[in-house]
């Protein structure tokens, strides 16, 4: 399928509105120096005045993304390792005949400069594209993303990358969320999730699986792929964004989310088949036995399932405890333990129960 066709389809005004609407996300609490510095950087990059006012696109975990006309600026988390971030940005920027990643813009004084420091943050700059949202769920580009993942995973890893690229960051939230879930260990839904967590390693206490797995291929992987990591640019097509977790790892990690969605019963088999078929037909190395992908995908999919379930449960239970502290007379009893949890969370908790129940089966690797 020609990506350019899809770009035109997905660039409908209604879908880009969220990116261009001024003040879409509240800027309260953001350091004024950071915003001012980002505005200055945008003006230097687009001196023709195409920038216009800054719009906050996203803020989470102490990182900030703003848009200024045709430029998007990202203030990375202050804890980002400068050498690792530089290696990741250089990898995305390197010339390649079949690009997968959106290339960052060169920054002054260039060349080869992809971040500037503003206060505590390293800031990178990117061409603005159209991203997807929940309204695009039915039209999500499964084939295009599978082909891009296969291309990324087939990218030859040269000496410079081996020397500089860190291991990919996978399961960024898992250890934190499981730790927080332990504080709710008495809750009936916490037990299956903690039991599934214990299946992820043979160590005691359990530890998260590494990005590079013994006996598995190691390639460059995105590390945090989902459909929010795709943007479409006119005349260019689909590209992956957000290289903050990119690095060396088992390519199966990039298939772990769809695999977890499918195994939880959330993703229809038709979509799973389109994704898996395109990936394998494009030569993706994560799955070598097309008829039995689970020896490769099982552990990553289980880990993502635990991360999904723990994250949703902790969010829900922490919020409920805050409510209960505020209104002690209104504490929900055990009978209503599931109230307010959405079906997606419950599907992942159910999957965790099945993971714990089948632990030790020969099919699990």
Task: Give yes or no for a contact between 78 and 115, defined as CB atoms under 8 angstroms apart.
Answer: no
Per CB under 8 A, which region of 42-50, 72-80, 151-159, 269-277 contacts another protein? 269-277
Q: Closest approach of Cβ 267 to another protein, in Å?
A: 5
Count of Cβ atoms closer than 10 Å to residue 328 Cβ: 7
Nearer to another protein, 157 or 273 (CB): 273
Q: How far apart are CA 364 and CA 201, in angstroms?
A: 11
Q: With contact defined as beta carbons under 8 Å apart, do 68 and 42 qualify?
A: yes
Verify binding: residue 361, another protein, rule CB under 8 A: yes
- Which residues are paired to 127 by β-bridges? 71
Q: Phi/psi at 351 (nearest 5 deg)?
A: -65, -40
Least CB distance to another protein at residue 319 (A): 16
Q: How many residues are there in the chain?
A: 365
Q: Does 202 bind another protein (CB under 8 A)?
A: no
CB-based burial label for 158 (10 Å; 0-12, 13-18, 19+):
exposed
Query: φ, ψ for residue 220 (rounded to 5)?
Result: -75, 130
Residue closer to another protein (CB basis): 56 or 355: 355
Calpha distance 194→173 (Å, rounded): 15
| 277 CB burial (10 A radius; 0-12, 13-18, 19+) | middle
Taking CB under 8 A as the rule, does residue 270 contact another protein?
A: yes
Select 236 or 359, whichever has its Cβ closest to another protein. Answer: 359
- Chain positions 132 to 161 lying near another protein, rule: CB under 8 A, are 132-138, 140
Q: How far is the CB of 329 from another protein (least distance, A)?
A: 30
Query: Of the ranges 71-79, 118-126, 162-170, 226-234, which one interacts with another protein (CB under 8 A)?
Result: 226-234
Window of 19-27, 68-76, 147-155, 342-350 that interacts with another protein by CB under 8 A = 342-350
104 touches 126 (CB < 8 A): yes
343 binds another protein, rule: CB under 8 A: yes
Q: Give the whole-angstrom CA distance, residue 101 versus residue 103.
A: 6
Q: Within 10 Å of residue 151's Cβ, how many Cβ atoms? A: 16
**What are the tokens at 220?**
């460059």
Does position 24 interact with another protein (CB under 8 A)? The reply is no
Check binding of 276 to another protein (CB under 8 A).
yes
Q: CB under 8 Å to 43, separation ≥6 — which residues?
A: 51, 68
25: contact with another protein by CB under 8 A: no
Binding segment for another protein among 109-117, 185-193, 265-273, 321-329 (CB under 8 A)? 265-273
Q: How many of the chain's residues bind another protein (CB under 8 A)?
A: 52
Site for another protein contains 70 (CB under 8 A) = no
Is 124 or 280 the residue whose CB approaches another protein more closely? 280
What does residue 122 show for φ and ψ, rounded to 5 degrees? -90, 135
Q: Does 290 bind another protein (CB under 8 A)?
A: yes
88 binds another protein (CB under 8 A): no
At its nearest, how many Å lie between another protein and the CB of residue 350? 8
Nearby residues of 318 by Cβ (< 8 Å), 6 or more positions away:
180
Is there binding between residue 34 and another protein (CB under 8 A)? Answer: no
Binding site for another protein (CB under 8 A): 132-138, 140, 172-173, 224, 226-228, 261-273, 276, 290-294, 297-298, 301-302, 308, 342-345, 347, 350-351, 354-355, 357-358, 361, 363-364
């Amino acid at each position: 399928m020609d990506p350019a066709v899809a770009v035109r389809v997905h660039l409908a005004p209604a879908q880009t509105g969220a990116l261009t609407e001024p003040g879409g996300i509240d800027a309260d609490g953001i350091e004024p120096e950071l915003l001012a510095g980002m505005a200055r950087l945008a003006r230097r990059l687009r001196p023709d005045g195409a920038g216009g006012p800054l719009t906050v696109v996203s803020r989470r975990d102490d990182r900030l993304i703003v848009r200024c006309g045709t430029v998007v600026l990202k203030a990375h988390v202050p804890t980002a390792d400068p050498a690792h971030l530089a290696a990741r940005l250089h990898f995305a920027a390197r010339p390649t005949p079949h690009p997968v990643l959106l290339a960052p813009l060169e920054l002054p004084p260039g060349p080869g400069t992809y971040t500037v420091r503003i206060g505590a943050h390293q800031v990178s700059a990117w061409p603005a594209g159209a991203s997807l949202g929940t309204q695009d769920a039915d039209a999500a580009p499964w084939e295009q993303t599978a082909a891009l993942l296969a291309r990324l995973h087939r990218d030859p890893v040269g000496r410079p990358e081996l020397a500089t690229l860190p291991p990919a960051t996978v399961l960024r939230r898992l250890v934190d969320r499981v730790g927080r879930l332990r504080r709710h260990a008495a809750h009936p839904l916490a037990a299956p999730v903690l039991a599934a967590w214990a299946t992820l390693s043979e160590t005691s206490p359990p530890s998260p699986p590494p990005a590079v797995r013994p006996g598995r291929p190691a390639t460059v992987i995105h590390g945090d792929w989902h459909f929010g990591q795709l943007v479409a640019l006119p005349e260019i097509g689909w590209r992956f964004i957000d290289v903050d977790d990119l690095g060396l790892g088992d390519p199966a990690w990039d298939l772990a989310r769809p695999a977890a969605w499918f195994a939880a019963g959330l993703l229809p088999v038709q979509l799973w088949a389109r994704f898996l078929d395109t990936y394998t037909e494009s030569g993706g190395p994560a799955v070598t036995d097309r008829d039995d992908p689970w020896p490769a995908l099982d552990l990553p999919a289980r880990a993502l399932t635990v991360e999904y379930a723990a994250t949703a449960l902790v969010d829900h239970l922490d919020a409920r405890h805050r409510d209960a502290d505020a209104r002690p007379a209104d504490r929900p009893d055990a009978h209503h333990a599931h109230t307010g949890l959405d079906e997606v969370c419950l599907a992942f908790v159910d999957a965790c129960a099945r993971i714990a129940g089948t632990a030790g089966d020969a099919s699990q690797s």
